[in-house]
Each structure stands twice: as structure tokens, then as C-alpha cells.
């Protein structure tokens, strides 16, 4: 069995969702969880999972299974009911009824912290209910009506729960033993249970029966009514020796006001010889009822006392549980079963134009007629269109005809960009050529009266990137293609006839100037790209 240290709120074990951890005992961790059903049904339960340090121990795993098998057969108001046993991802878990209360050990500790003594009548009422639950466990029969002779073997204040409504519940049959069953036998040299609440025969490792639980219940009652443990020593070894051999100190020795009838009950419960004790839990309960009657009539409101003593502890736990349920509901809506806000279905070409805010020359209404709207507020803007101003909400998918038009618009957009780059390159080259020719003529101007010499600038080679861009933007020629040539551009005669420079020298003829005695030279188009209609 693998460890369960990865368990966390929100994880699901079978039909149960973990909400928050409640307590940790010697063998397991207890979680508050909820069971969900159809039509909104849900129920809070407690789930016990084995501790990681014990999960790989076959013996503790068997104890865990025995608890489920034995306690699930007990049906009594004073026993916490076992609802289910499951396994998921090699994690065994036990599902129990949810008990809104505190362990008796917590109640007793809170009383001592407040310098108050647990009222004896309240203590007797609690123990009487616990005895009723244990008697039901002791009287358990199997499916063939054969007594199982079940023994809890771990009766202690930690395993007696008191609800805020005053109901007592026995829990944790993890070390319970059924006579004749192999699962509950004790290995030689091994003790099961808490040492301070063991019986003499249990401490010695001998045979145990229901009278062992009676001895343990006597220790619980002694501690609740006197505030002291009758056999507690410096360590477990001393405590065990005291349980076996030290005589019981009667409560009236230290407190003469202690009720005599109650003292007699305690003395009989804590006899070293099992035959001298009460033989059944129901017999012990009847004796406590008689002692309670001798103490006079009083209002024994267990729930009211616990609520007053514990303050807002129960309210805080219930609030934490409500918060955990709320978080679980939010997790169900957005986490475990995410409901992701899906952006509208937009064609690839449309999304490229809209999201990059490129000016395609097409208005929004022309782009997606009857399916583009501007939200009234920012809260309705889809997250994927948050960069568009104003934001667009697309309510449908374009038709095939609209998609074809969008493709043509985008193609024209790309061609327009290519033509703009090419035109800029042509203008730059033309101006650069003219400037170079003028500068060269001025530097080599002939003396005054000398014949003019024609200087022709070599064609300028443009960068490969510009040529590649223009060639990429060039569409397939068609009958409607219009060719733009450099010859159609207006020419400028850079020759300054009769002009002079600041130094008195004549300006040199430009590369496009006519040479005397020769025919006019046509403008060169070797380096000028042929630009076709971009489709606008």
C-alpha cells in the first residue's frame, strides 16, 4: 500500500471529496469530506486514511480492515457508524458518519485550562452513554447469529466523542479484537492500546474480554471525576507496574465530599481480578444510574455544558467547513471541472487582421456584417480580444464568400506593403544617383571654354532584399495588368544653362543631360523593377 501524503483538499476518493483535515491519531488522519449525489444531494462525512508511515505495514493494514469489518456491523446511536470502505490509488480509506463535537480528552483539557472541574453529573451522563455504545459492540453477532465477543481494547477519552448536542459516540475500533478471529490476535511481546488505560490482563499480554473495557472505563470515570489518573507513573513502564500491582486509592481518601455511591462503582470497576468487576457494560451503566439518582436531581445538559466550555471552537469548525464547501463548489466550477470561457470562433484570416490592428482598408461593418458588435462595458470583452480598441465581439463564423473576400483584402494588403517598400527604394536610388553625378561634375569641372564632357553614372545595383521583396509581391500577369515604367515618370533637367557656382565655375552636366552632337539618351531601366497593379 502506497503512501497518501499527497492527499489535499479537493481530491476525490471514490464518491467522496476531501474538504479539510480534522484530526490525526496513532494510525490515521481524519478528513472532513462530502458525498455528492444526483439532484444536488450532498452529505458531510468523515474519512479516515492510514498514515504514510504505517501504510506499508501489512499488520496495520489488517487492523484498518478489521476496524471496518467489525465496526460496520454495529448499529447504535452511541457508536459512530461506519458507512463505507474504499481503495483508490492503493490508498485505503474508511468513511464514517460526521460527528459535530469534541473528544472527551479535549473537553477535559479545556476544563483544566479554565481551572474548572468537569461536573460529576455531566461526567456520569457521558460515561453512561459510552457504556451503552460499548455494550452494543460487546453483544455483536455475526450473520449466523454467533456472538463475536468483540472487545474494543482502546477505551480512552480520545476515543469518546461528545457532540455539541450532548450525544456521545464511541469511535476507533482499530485495535478491537473478536475472539476466534485471526485478524485481531495480539502477537507475542506486542501491546495494543494506550498503556494508561489498559487492564492488568491486557498489560501482561493475557487473554482479554469485555471486562477489559470495563476496567478502562473505570479509569476514564476516575480521571473525569477526580482530575487524577489512579495508576499514572513517570513512564509507561511504571504505569504498567502500577496497573498490575498497586492498590487503588479510593477517591474519598483525598476528597471526603466525593459521593460514596460513586466511589463504590469505581472500586468495583478497577478490581485487578476480572471476576470481581462488573461483568457487562449494561451492569455498569445501571450502577451509574443509581449513583446519579442518589446525588439528587439536577439539569444535566451535556450539550449546553460543552458549548459553554468550548466557546466558539465548534462555530469556527463549522465556519471552516462551510468555507471548505464553498471553495469546493468554486473548484468544481472552475478547477476540477473547468468551465473555460472560450473565445468566439474566428477564421484565421480575420483574427490576423483584427488582432494585429492592421489597416486593411476594410471597415469593421464590411469585415463581418451583422456579426460585429461593440460591448457596452469592458466586462463583456473576451480575453482573447482585450488588445483591440474598441473591443470586438464576433458572434458567428464568416461564410465562404466572406472568407474569400478577406483573403483578397489581405493579399492586397501585403502587395501594397511590398510596393511601398519598392517605391521607397527606387526614390532613394534615383536621388542618390543624381546627387553622386552632380558632386562628380562639380569636382571635375573643365576650365572655362573647354568642351563639355558627358559623364554617365553606372547603373546602381539595389540590395538583394528589396529585389526579393518586390519579386515576392509580384502577382501573375493578366490582361488587366498595368506596367509602370520609369519612362512614364517626369524627367528633370539638372543642367543649369548659363548658371554658375559660387566660385564662378559652371555646373557639370548631369547624367541625363544631352551631349552636343549626339541623340538624346533614353533613360536606363535595367535596375528599375516592373511594378504591377497590387489589386487595390
- Give 516's DSSP letter: T
Q: 476515543: which residue's cell?
A: 159
Helix axes 281-294, 210-226, angle to 10 degrees: 30
How is residue 37 written as a grid cell?
449525489
Which phi and psi (to 5°) does residue 442 adopt?
-70, -35
- Give the closest residue to 283 by CA, choosing from 331, 216, 211, 376: 211
Q: Which residues make Cβ contacts (< 8 Å) with residue 393, sequence separation at least 6?
A: 344, 372, 373, 374, 375, 380, 381, 382, 385
Residue 189 makes CB contacts below 8 A (sequence gap 6+) with: 205
**489 phi, psi to nearest 5 deg:** -80, 145
Backbone angles phi, psi at 35, to 5 degrees: -100, 130
DSSP 403-450: HHHHHHHHHHHHHHHHHHHHHHHHHHHHHHHHHHHHHHHHHTPPPTTP
- Rounded Cα–Cα distance for residues 343 and 388 (Å): 14
Grid look-up 476507533 returns 172
Grid cell locating 345: 470562433
Kindly give, in sequence order, each residue whose CB lies less than 8 Å from that of residue 146, ignoring residues fewer than 6 positions away. none
Cα(428)–Cα(422) distance, integer angstroms: 10
Give the catalytic positions in this structure.
154
CA dist., res. 466 & res. 443, Å (int)? 32
Q: CA neighbours within 13 Å on the CB side: how many for 183?
A: 20
CA distance 192 to 209: 14
Amino acid at each position: 500500500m502506497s503512501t497518501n501524503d499527497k492527499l489535499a483538499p479537493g481530491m476525490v476518493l471514490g464518491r467522496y471529496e476531501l474538504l479539510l483535515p480534522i484530526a490525526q491519531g496513532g494510525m490515521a488522519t481524519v478528513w472532513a469530506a462530502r458525498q455528492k449525489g444526483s439532484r444536488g444531494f450532498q452529505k458531510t462525512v468523515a474519512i479516515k486514511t492510514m498514515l504514510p508511515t504505517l501504510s506499508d505495514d501489512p499488520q496495520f493494514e489488517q487492523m484498518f480492515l478489521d476496524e471496518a469489518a467489525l465496526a460496520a456491523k454495529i448499529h447504535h446511536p452511541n457508536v459512530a457508524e461506519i458507512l463505507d470502505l474504499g481503495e483508490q490509488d492503493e490508498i485505503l480509506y474508511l468513511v464514517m458518519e460526521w460527528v459535530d463535537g469534541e473528544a472527551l480528552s479535549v473537553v477535559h483539557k479545556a476544563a483544566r485550562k479554565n481551572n474548572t472541574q468537569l461536573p460529576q453529573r455531566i461526567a456520569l451522563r457521558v460515561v453512561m452513554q459510552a457504556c451503552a455504545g460499548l455494550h452494543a459492540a460487546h453483544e455483536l453477532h455475526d450473520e449466523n447469529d454467533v456472538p463475536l465477543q468483540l472487545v474494543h481494547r482502546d477505551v480512552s477519552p480520545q476515543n469518546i466523542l461528545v457532540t455539541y448536542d450532548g450525544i456521545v459516540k464511541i469511535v476507533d475500533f482499530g485495535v478491537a479484537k473478536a475472539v476466534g478471529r485471526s485478524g485481531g490476535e495480539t502477537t507475542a511481546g506486542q501491546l495494543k492500546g494506550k498503556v494508561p488505560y489498559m487492564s492488568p490482563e491486557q498489560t501482561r499480554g493475557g487473554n482479554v474480554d469485555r471486562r477489559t473495557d470495563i476496567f478502562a472505563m473505570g479509569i476514564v470515570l476516575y480521571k473525569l471525576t477526580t482530575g487524577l489518573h489512579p495508576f499514572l507513573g513517570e513512564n509507561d513502564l511504571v504505569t504498567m507496574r502500577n496497573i498490575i500491582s498497586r492498590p487503588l486509592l479510593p477517591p474519598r481518601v483525598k476528597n471526603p465530599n466525593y459521593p460514596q455511591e460513586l466511589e463504590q462503582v469505581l472500586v468495583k470497576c478497577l478490581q485487578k481480578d476480572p471476576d470481581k468487576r462488573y461483568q457487562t457494560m449494561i451492569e455498569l451503566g445501571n450502577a451509574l444510574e443509581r449513583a446519579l439518582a442518589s446525588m439528587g436531581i439536577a439539569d444535566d445538559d451535556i450539550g449546553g455544558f460543552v458549548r459553554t466550555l468550548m466557546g466558539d471552537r465548534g462555530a469556527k469548525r463549522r465556519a471552516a467547513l462551510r468555507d471548505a464547501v464553498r471553495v469546493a463548489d468554486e473548484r468544481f466550477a472552475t478547477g476540477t471541472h473547468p468551465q473555460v470561457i472560450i473565445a468566439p470562433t474566428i477564421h484565421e484570416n480575420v483574427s490576423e487582421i483584427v488582432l494585429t490592428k492592421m489597416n486593411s482598408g476594410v471597415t469593421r461593418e464590411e469585415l463581418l456584417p451583422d456579426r460585429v458588435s461593440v460591448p457596452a462595458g469592458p466586462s463583456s470583452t473576451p480575453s482573447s480580444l482585450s488588445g483591440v480598441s474598441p473591443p470586438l465581439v464576433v458572434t458567428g463564423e464568416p461564410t465562404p464568400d466572406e472568407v474569400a473576400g478577406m483573403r483578397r483584402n489581405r493579399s492586397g494588403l501585403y502587395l501594397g506593403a511590398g510596393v511601398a517598400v519598392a517605391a521607397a527604394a527606387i526614390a532613394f536610388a534615383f536621388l542618390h544617383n543624381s546627387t553622386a553625378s552632380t558632386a562628380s561634375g562639380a569636382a571635375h569641372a573643365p576650365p572655362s571654354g573647354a568642351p563639355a564632357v558627358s559623364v554617365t553614372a553606372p547603373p546602381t545595383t539595389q540590395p538583394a532584399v528589396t529585389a526579393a521583396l518586390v519579386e515576392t509581391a509580384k502577382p501573375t500577369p493578366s490582361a488587366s495588368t498595368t506596367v509602370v515604367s520609369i519612362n512614364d515618370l517626369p524627367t528633370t533637367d539638372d543642367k543649369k544653362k548659363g548658371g554658375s557656382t559660387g566660385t564662378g565655375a559652371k555646373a557639370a552636366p548631369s547624367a541625363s543631360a544631352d551631349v552636343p552632337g549626339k541623340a538624346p539618351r533614353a533613360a536606363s531601366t535595367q535596375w528599375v523593377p516592373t511594378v504591377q497593379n497590387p489589386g487595390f
